[in-house]
A = this chain, B = another copy of it.
Amino acid sequence: MVLEGYRGASLKKLEKSGVSVGDLVKVMTDRETVEGVLMPRYEFADEEHIVIKLKTGYNIGISIGRVKEIKTVSKGTEPSFNVPKRPKLVPSLPKVMILGTGGTIASRIDYRTGGVRPALSSEELYYLVPELSSIAEVETQALFSIYSENMTPSRWSELASRVAEAVKAGYDGVVITHGTDTLHYTASALSFALENLPVPVVVVGSQRSSDRPSSDAASNLIGAVKFAARGNASGVFVIMHGGLSDDELDVHLGVRVRKDHSSRRDAFESVNSDPVGRIGQEITLRRGLPPRRASPEGFSCSPSFSDGVSIVKLYPGFQPSLIGFLVRQGCRAIILEGTGLGHAPTSVYDQLRSAIGAGVFVGMTSQTIWGSVRMTVYNTGRDLLRLGVVPLGDMLSEAAFAKASWLLGQGLKPEKVASMMATDLRGEMAVRRKVK
């Protein structure tokens, strides 16, 4: 009995009924009888539903609690080995490398082939999202198979190196499929590690799992591959559903984007800046931004990241000794999420002074998310500047975190880290205007 991906109550019921994935089955519920092929579950799915592919081609999820009986109509034929034929390649198409790291988007793709492998082969990909074969000659590599909350700076290093290999091998663009939880952190990290990219590198995910008719997995992936293949842009981008219509995707600069909703398809927003492009029927790019495709000369990858960076949010009654603890643990950069224009309780000043004295970089961002820090407005802000806290303008704390991790990974001295943090490298901060 092959029941890939099923667990718990669903698995028990299916086993008891003697059915396998791929079988044509009849499911009797308290309300109706449904006939179709039993589909495998993807790795991250819940335990409470079984999925049936109807004759119409649609998949539906049925709550196991409602299922009275499951009967086999006819046995299937080992669906997991039913690998589709690789479609004919069109050699004139641009070449795109897809690197899989895991997450809902990859599991969606797996969903119809079965198995619990979030990574994907190019064969499966073509089969499942056939539109891709008319857009690009796609190659795939499965790099990780993780939930994105388990992404780490050392995995960023590995990912950056793989992207660089693909770029050097002459791919016209690279797509990274990624869980959405920390997708924006990774996009920032890659932005710093990959300098003078000649082509677009797109990080893409999916907010909706495949049981739901509103899944954005296929449309996001198609948009990402389209942009990687044909977008006249270079740099690291995030492409996700854009919110205005079902068919439009936003192209965000990798260092300027944030996941601002836990579940909506348009959860990703460019912060303190507009998206740099939009993908509908056509790709439209913002005038003057982003940089266009370039020659590969000058491209370099510096993939090292340091583990020694912390993000610390400040709040009323914040425990100052936390700063000292982080320093003792080997932390070499602290990104503060201060209040308002970049403030910290005066009770934290001594610990910040000690940390900075010990060579730890302390940078200030704002927990307001939107807007810029401006530490010259109030005298407490000026006090913090005098302590050596570095204002990071309108940089997102997540981008600042990735940037500090990268700068430390390059073995730079504290003064150099401080001056680079305050300098715009990849569009992560608006060039500072003189404060009135």
Contacts and interface: CB of A to CB of B under 8 A. Distances in A.
A372 B149 contact: no
A167 to B, nearest CB: 23
A214 interface: no
Interface string A171-213: 0000000011110011000000000000000000000010000
Contacts of A378: 44, 147
Interface stretch (A240-248, A280-288, A319-327, A425-433): A319-327
B180 A340 contact: yes
Contact of A262 (B44, B309, B370): B370
Given A151-B316, A185-B316, A401-B315, A260 B329 contact: no
A209 B311 CA distance: 30
A149 B380 contact: yes
A316 B46 contact: no
A377 B46 contact: yes
Given A181-B340, A340-B181, A345-B150, A261 B322 contact: no
Contacts of A344: 149
Contacts of A343: 147, 149, 181
A353 interface: no
A290 interface: no
Contacts of A181: 339-340, 343
Interface residues of A, number: 73
Contact of A260 (B311, B312, B316, B368): B368
Nearest to A367: B259
Contacts of A156: 316
Interface of A: 44, 46, 63, 147-156, 179-182, 185-186, 209, 259-264, 267, 307, 309-319, 321-322, 325-326, 329, 331, 337-347, 366, 368-374, 376-380, 398, 401, 405, 436
Given A310-B319, A315-B401, 15 more contacts: A44-B377, A46-B377, A147-B380, A152-B316, A152-B317, A156-B316, A185-B315, A209-B377, A262-B368, A264-B370, A310-B318, A315-B398, A319-B331, A322-B329, A325-B325
